[in-house]
Amino acid sequence: MKSRKSKTTSKPKRAASKPTSRSSAPKSKSKTSESKPKSAPVQAKRQTKKLPKQSTAKKEFKPKNEFRYNTKSKHKEFIFGEVGEKYKAVGITHSPKTFEKKNMPLKVNPQKGKTEQAYVRNGIVSAPKKNYGKRILKNHQFSTEDYPNVKAKIRNYKKREKRRNPKK
């Protein structure tokens, strides 16, 4: 029969004759150790990507009054405001309906020289500035008959936003 070895193993004991470097025993100081203090080992700092500080304050509305081309939707839009990195705008189209909703007809096409029927889309477009062309469209302007209606649409939007987000 074979003898079985016991599963418990004993750890070898350290020799107590040599003092360890962590012991609290006082050491004799030499001239070299007094003049040069030991420096802590330098640890490599991890490279962390710093995020831009985000302000907790509410972004301020800056009024605008210009036409620009939206490269994402491929339509011209009337920009009436700027909030942070976004423009607030109303869309201009030639279609009487958008998403099965009637668009508001304009009496005069805002693009000078065009006679096609134009409409202002329902709803307000909020899109990043990068989606718009750099040039302001100079040959676009609402007629004196249409501008009050567009202004009322914008005013109603602002009222709705105030009700949704009251100041505290």
Instruction: Give the range of the structural domain holding residue 131, as residue numbers without chain letter.
Output: 61-164
Q: What pLDDT tens digit does each residue of the chain (168 aa) get?
A: 565 655 556 666 665 655 555 655 555 555 555 556 666 666 666 666 666 665 545 678 788 888 998 888 888 889 998 888 888 999 888 888 888 889 899 999 898 888 899 999 888 888 888 888 888 888 898 889 988 988 898 888 888 888 888 776
Residue 1 lies in a domain: no
Rounded to 5 degrees, φ, ψ at 18 are -95, 130
In a domain? residue 118: yes
Q: How many domains does the chain have?
A: 1
Residue 129, in any domain of the structure: yes
- How much is the pLDDT for 129? 87
CATH of the domain at 133: 2.30.30
Q: Does residue 46 form part of some domain? A: no
Residue type, 128: P
Query: Are 120 and 153 within 8 A, CB to CB?
Result: yes
Residue 119, in any domain of the structure: yes
Q: pTM, whole model, 2 decimals?
A: 0.60
Predicted pLDDT of residue 32: 54
| Residue 41: inside a domain | no
**29 in a structural domain:** no
Instruction: Write down the residue that tokens 């302001």 correspond to.
Output: 136
Residue closest to 71 by CA, chosen among 89, 96, 97, 94: 89
